Structure 1
């Protein structure tokens, strides 16, 4: 054999893929946990496809979850990110949804885990940061569908709900497809409970001059947020449906902490029960927990989204960490 002067050297080791996100199931298959190689994590309960935890790389929790929340599928979860579909609240005057329970059936159905994708696969190329997306599905034919849906909302539909975790953000998105022969109306909302240290030191910007519906002030509910002061503070029970133009930012002690961006979701609900209301909510614990949470809930709830046969409604939120 003739020797080769430029014979390549042997590789000392086989190059491997960069560290990937890990996805695990609980022993009872009731929840899915995903963790990035950088340490950030999410936990999603299959009941309601409810995100019940979102932690940054240091293990700091970003979502508020009631200590009395039911995680056994017996009732909707108090805290995290419950998914509202196809009705926000109750709608006794709306013929299609008048008999549905409050906030519909998505949050009280058991969803199917459809799988994961990572930054190596998403968009067909590697991104600059690790990312993991978890997909969940619910349809009119699903065995886990709340029985009230079959009885009171007899449309054929298919829902795909995606939860995407990046080092500095969390995105939740929904695609609601009408598989029926006739159109249906729906409302969608992501009931996000953000964790804060002290609600009295929170300021919410991005709502100046926005019209809103004040559900606490039943005598005069239709209002417009003043241009000044630019930031909204929470000083008592608050339940408002805003229609802002742009992003909403939550600051604490004048330090921006969260920015909420919406895609095809025209409304933002700002909710805090305050002391008296918290006392009256059975699964709200501890009772002073209102001091450590703020609901910023992107949704399409100001009216009805009419989805024609064969068509779909899509909406999403992205919560970005700023501190």
Structure 2
């Protein structure tokens, strides 16, 4: 279990003030939480996919395709899909070889495990709760038999989504609940909403090594301090030492993505041709208003022996 100093501390419910509290609405297909100050987050039970994260100003920070399927018929194009236990197309051989691209977590219905709230230390006198944490679970026993036959391991996933005034934290806890070891990859496939890709740069990746999937998965080193996107980009930055990757608009901070116990970051934008080729990508020029900055462990494989646990995630901050 990784120690996260930014993780909110749960309050004793009996000690709470009478100030406004976060609201949590639960429906058949999603859970939505709103803070008294106006920040909100919405998560589909299908895939435990975060499909909206708004700041107090009402600004949306996540991009979701206008043609995204939100009915559980296919993985959501946009938001924050969870990639597990394999990233990208599966290898031709090995335990994950029969799984679909990006695994099964994003295309399986999760269970809502409950909520908890925390109060900011500096705002403790009558200010109400500063954050709310929503937990979702997925377990080997709950998988469809067709999926179990392709990846027959016992596991437990707990995905925690914490909405706070300072940002959004998403953390995936992976546990081996069987009697044999297994390997996995995981990624939070985050689609960030931006105003104009031509005025957007990404910092925090300078001098880093990356695998360029556009260039036949060859390895390169980024020579510039910031990345500008002017064509299709599909890069896996590996072994990053700097925790924060920042998205800038006209040189000013727009969004920060801070990795937690994860060393890899994927940057993706399909650009014109690939966007046109995807039936669920809309509008077709939507690539101008989005960029994926995805934290994960995907350059290699994590191995868990029976009873072992891995945990990793991210903290995102918005400047609008």
Instruction: Report the TM-score when normalising by structure 2.
Output: 0.90
Is the 2:90–2:100 contact (alpha carbons within 8 Å) kept by the matching residues of 1?
no
User: Are residues 1:314 and 2:317 paired?
Assistant: no
CA positional deviation for 1:146: 4.5
Corresponding residue for 2:285? 288
Partner in structure 1 of residue 95 of structure 2: 96
Paired position in structure 1 for 2:5? none
Aligned to 2:9: none
Query: Which residue is 2:111 aligned to?
Result: 112
Q: Which runs of 4+ in 1 moved over 4 A?
A: 125-129
- Paired with 1:108 and 1:263, the residues of 2 have a C-alpha distance of 24
What residue number does 1:235 align with?
230
Per-residue deviation, 1:322: 3.0
Q: CA deviation at 1:297?
A: 0.2
Q: Does 1:187 align with 2:182?
A: no
Q: Spell out, residue by residue over 1:286-320, the C-alpha distance to the aligned partner (whole angstroms, 9 max, x if none).
A: 00000000000000000000011110111010111
Question: Is 1:245–2:246 an aligned residue pair?
Answer: no
3-state secondary structure, aligned to 1:232: strand
Compute the RMSD of aligned alpha carbons: 1.8
Structure 2 distance, partners of 1:19, 1:186, is: 42
Greater mean alpha carbon deviation, residues 178-187 or residues 15-24 = 15-24
Aligned 8 A contact 1:108 1:146 in 2:
no
Pairs within 5 Å for 1:1-323: 17-26=18-27, 29-120=28-119, 130-142=130-142, 145-218=143-216, 221-226=218-223, 229-243=224-238, 244-246=240-242, 247-323=244-320
Q: Which has the larger radius of gyration?
A: 1
Alignment partners' CA distance in 2, 1:259 and 1:35: 21
- Residue by residue, what CA displacement relative to the aligned partner does 1:143-181 show, whole Å, maximum 9, x if unpaired? xx3444211100011100000001131110011100111
Q: CA deviation at 1:126?
A: 5.4
Offset of 1:135 from its aligned partner?
Answer: 0.1
Q: Any conservation in 2 of the 1:164–1:171 contact (CA below 8 Å)?
A: yes
Which is worse superposed, 265-274 or 83-92? 83-92
The size of the alignment, in residue pairs, is 300
- Measure how far apart 1:263 and its partner are: 1.2
**Deviation at residue 81 of structure 1 after TM alignment:** 0.2
Q: Tell me, yes or no, if the aligned pair for 2:90 and 2:102 is still in contact at 8 Å.
A: no
Shift of 1:16: 5.0
Preserved contact between residue 155 and residue 177 of structure 2 (Cα < 8 Å): yes
Q: Please give the per-residue CA displacement for 1:99-158, whole angstroms capped at 9, x wherever unaligned.
A: 0000000001100000001014x99x959861000000000112xx34442111000111
Q: Shift in Å at residue 230 of structure 1?
A: 1.0
Partner SS, residue 152 of structure 1: coil
Shift of 1:47: 0.1
Q: What is the match of residue 6 of structure 1?
A: none
Asked whether the 8 Å contact 2:61–2:318 carries over to 1, the reply is no
Gaps of 5+ in 1: 1-14
Instruction: Provide closer, same or farther for how the CA distance between residues 147 and 216 of structure 1 changes in structure 2, counting only shifts above 3 A.
Output: farther
